[in-house]
Amino acid sequence: MAYTYILECNDGTLYTGWTTDVKRRVKEHNKGTGAKYTRARIPVELKYFEEFNTNKEAMKRECEIKKLTRKKKIELIERMLI
C-alpha cells in the first residue's frame, strides 16, 4: 500500500507528501531526517492520509493536494475527522 498524507508543522503550515509507511515517515519528519521543509518546523503532527494500491496513485494524489489552497486542504482534514 501507498499513502498520501498531510502534516501540520509547529508553525501552523501544512506539508503534503507520500510514503509506503505513514508511521515511519512521521517519525522521520519529527527526527529531522524527513523533508527539508519540515526540518525547521518540528514537531509535526499527522492530520490526514489517504490509502492507495500503488505508489504512482499516491504520488499523483500528492500533486493534486499540493495544488489545493490552504482552505481546501483544511476541508480535507476536517472531512477525515467526521
What are the chain's domains? 2-81 (3.40.1440.10)
Q: Which residue in this structure is represented by grid cell 504520488? A: 59
Q: 13-69: per-residue pLDDT in tens?
A: 999 999 999 999 999 999 999 899 999 999 999 999 999 999 999 999 999 999 999
Measure the CA–CA gap between 48 and 64, rounded to whole angstroms: 14
Share of the chain above pLDDT 70, in %: 99
CA distance to 1, 14, 46, 63, per residue, from 73 (Å):
22, 8, 13, 12
Whether the CB-CB separation of 59 and 18 falls below 8 Å is answered with yes
Q: What's the half-sphere exposure (Cβ side, CA atoms, 13 Å) at 68?
A: 17
Q: Name the residue among 52, 55, 46, 51 with its Cα closest to residue 77.
A: 46
pTM listed for this prediction: 0.94
Confidence of residue 82 (pLDDT cuts 50, 70, 90): low
Q: What nine digits make up the cell of 74?
A: 483544511
